[in-house]
């Protein structure tokens, strides 16, 4: 359903994604793991075209775009592909001067031009889904990090995207608040939401993802079933990386937070 073919992304001379070809099935949940600077965020941002690939092809659903150096894709083509994706960021990025429900309604009213009352009803249903209906009229600043992230997930789902892209959705949260976000994302996974989740959070990865990709220095080192990649990886490099994830999880669990 999402198809990346021979994606290269350069920032100046820095080759950040090196010939990435990957497919993501409808209804699948994929964890994207790897060391900092390995290209996880850039890969997610190349799927929704917040970053424009230097070369290669991106297909989401029936919409496909080819990229070549010095060729500027049409803004309308970028928009139509981006509209099929929803993005959840590490630091939530809610609009601070809009209430929780107004954050969720925004794209429905402004982009999809739904009548306000219809948008409000849809937004309320989404807030219920993430357990935040009781805070519909709250300002983001009055919500905990976990609550803000749950509103951000509802906002990303509002235009009914084909895929939810999550960039380290629990990294800014302490373990207890991360837990409530993990719960919401696992529920979405069980309902068949297509997701690609960049994460260092082994609990999140192992409770949501059936597929995993280990990305380092812009290259896919290993990919396969999440269970296998996290418990019995094939590559030596993947083994060492997974060991660091397991260790940091143990430290968190032992920290008593
Ligand atoms: N906007 C940018 N301009 C220049 N370099 C960037 C930009 N975004 C990311 N990079 C570089 O791309 C590489 C991959 O970064 P990133 O995708 O953020 O990795 P990760 O999310 O795995 O930590 C890093 O070397 C980073 O410095
Ligand atoms: Mg990142």
Q: Is the pLDDT of residue 11 over 60?
A: yes
Residues 73 and 170 in one domain: yes
Confidence class for position 253, pLDDT limits 50, 70, 90: low
Domain membership flag for residue 89: no
| Contacts with 65 (C-beta within 8 Å, 6 or more apart), sequence order | 49, 57, 58, 59, 73, 77, 78, 81
Provide the number of structural domains found in the chain: 2
Ligand 1, atom 1: closest residue by C-alpha:
11
Atom number in ligand 1 closest to CA 43: 17
Residues 67 and 181 in one domain: yes
**92 contacts 152 by C-beta, under 8 angstroms:** yes
Q: Is the pLDDT of residue 247 over 80?
A: no
Confidence class for position 256, pLDDT limits 50, 70, 90: very low
Give residue for tokens 């049409």. Answer: 74
Q: What is the mean pLDDT of residues 223-235?
A: 93
Domain membership flag for residue 206: yes
Residues 99 and 134 in one domain: yes
Confidence class for position 72, pLDDT limits 50, 70, 90: confident
Q: pLDDT tens-digit profile of 132-162? A: 999 999 999 999 999 999 999 999 999 999 9
Bridge partner residues of 216 (DSSP): 219
Bridge partner residues of 133 (DSSP): none
Residue 73 half-sphere exposure toward CB, CA atoms < 13 A: 23
Q: Is the pTM of this model over 0.85?
A: yes
Q: What is d(CA 106, CA 153) in angstroms, rounded to the nearest whole number? A: 13
Ligand nearest to the CA of 89: 2
**Does the beta carbon of 42 lie inside 6 Å of ligand 1?**
yes
Question: What distance in angstroms lies between residue 32's CA and the mean position of ligand 1's atoms?
Answer: 15
Q: What is d(CA 52, CA 82) in angstroms, rounded to the nearest whole number? A: 11
Q: Is the pLDDT of residue 255 over 60?
A: no
H helices present in the chain, as ranges? 40-47, 75-82, 100-110, 116-129, 145-157, 175-190, 202-208, 226-231, 236-254
Which helix (H) or strand (E) covers residue 215, if one does? strand 211-216
Residues 177 and 234 in one domain: yes
Question: What distance in angstroms lies between residue 34's CA and the mean position of ligand 1's atoms?
Answer: 13
Which helix (H) or strand (E) covers residue 60, if one does? strand 55-60
**How far from chain centre, in Å, is Cα 54?**
21
* Token pair in block for residue 210: 């059936």
End position of a domain, from candidates 104, 126, 160: 160
Residues 69 and 143 in one domain: no
For the chain, the C-alpha Rg in angstroms (whole number) is: 18
Residues 122 and 31 in one domain: no
**Does the beta carbon of 16 lie inside 6 Å of ligand 1?**
yes
Q: What residues make up the domain containing 50?
A: 2-84+162-254
Q: Ligand 1 pocket: which of 39, 49, 219 to mutate (most atoms <8 Å of CB)?
A: 39
Domain membership flag for residue 6: yes
**How far from chain centre, in Å, is Cα 147?**
17
Residues with CB under 5 A from ligand 2 (ion): 40-41
Domain membership flag for residue 170: yes
Bridge partner residues of 74 (DSSP): none
What phi and psi values does residue 240 have, to the nearest 5 degrees?
-65, -40
Atom number in ligand 1 closest to CA 198: 21
Ligand 1, atom 27: closest residue by C-alpha:
37
Question: What distance in angstroms lies between residue 71's CA and the mean position of ligand 2's atoms?
Answer: 26
* Token pair in block for residue 138: 């709250």
**Does the beta carbon of 38 lie inside 6 Å of ligand 1?**
yes
Q: What is the mean pLDDT of residues 60-79?
A: 91
Q: pLDDT tens-digit profile of 187-201? A: 999 999 999 999 988
Q: What is d(CA 184, CA 130) in angstroms, rounded to the nearest whole number? A: 6
Average pLDDT, the chain: 93
Q: pLDDT tens-digit profile of 85-99? A: 999 999 999 999 999
Residues 167 and 60 in one domain: yes
Ligand 1, atom 7: closest residue by C-alpha:
11
End position of a domain, from candidates 160, 193, 215: 160
């Amino acid at each position: 359903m999402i198809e990346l073919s021979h994606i290269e992304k350069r920032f100046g001379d820095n080759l950040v994604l090196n010939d990435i070809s990957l497919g993501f099935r409808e209804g699948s949940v994929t964890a994207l793991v790897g060391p900092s600077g390995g290209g996880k965020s850039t890969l997610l941002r190349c799927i929704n075209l917040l970053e424009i690939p230097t070369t290669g092809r991106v297909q989401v659903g029936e919409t496909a775009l080819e990229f070549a150096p010095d060729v500027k894709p049409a803004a309308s083509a970028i928009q139509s592909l981006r509209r099929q994706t929803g993005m959840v960021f590490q630091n939530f990025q809610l609009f601070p001067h809009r209430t929780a429900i107004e954050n969720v309604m925004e794209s429905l009213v402004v982009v999809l031009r739904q009548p306000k009352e219809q948008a409000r009803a849809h937004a309320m249903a989404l807030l219920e889904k993430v357990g935040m209906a009781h805070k519909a009229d709250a300002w983001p600043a009055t919500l905990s990090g976990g609550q803000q992230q749950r509103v951000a997930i509802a906002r990303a789902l509002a235009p009914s995207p084909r895929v939810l892209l999550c960039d380290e959705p629990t990294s800014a949260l302490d373990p207890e608040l991360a837990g409530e976000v993990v719960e919401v994302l696992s529920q979405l996974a069980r309902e068949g939401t297509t997701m690609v989740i960049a994460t260092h959070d082994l609990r999140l990865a192992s409770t949501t993802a059936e597929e995993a990709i280990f990305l380092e220095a812009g290259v896919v080192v290993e990919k396969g079933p999440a269970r296998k990649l996290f418990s019995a990886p094939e590559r030596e490099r993947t083994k060492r990386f997974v060991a660091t994830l397991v260790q940091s999880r143990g430290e968190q669990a032992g920290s008593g937070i």
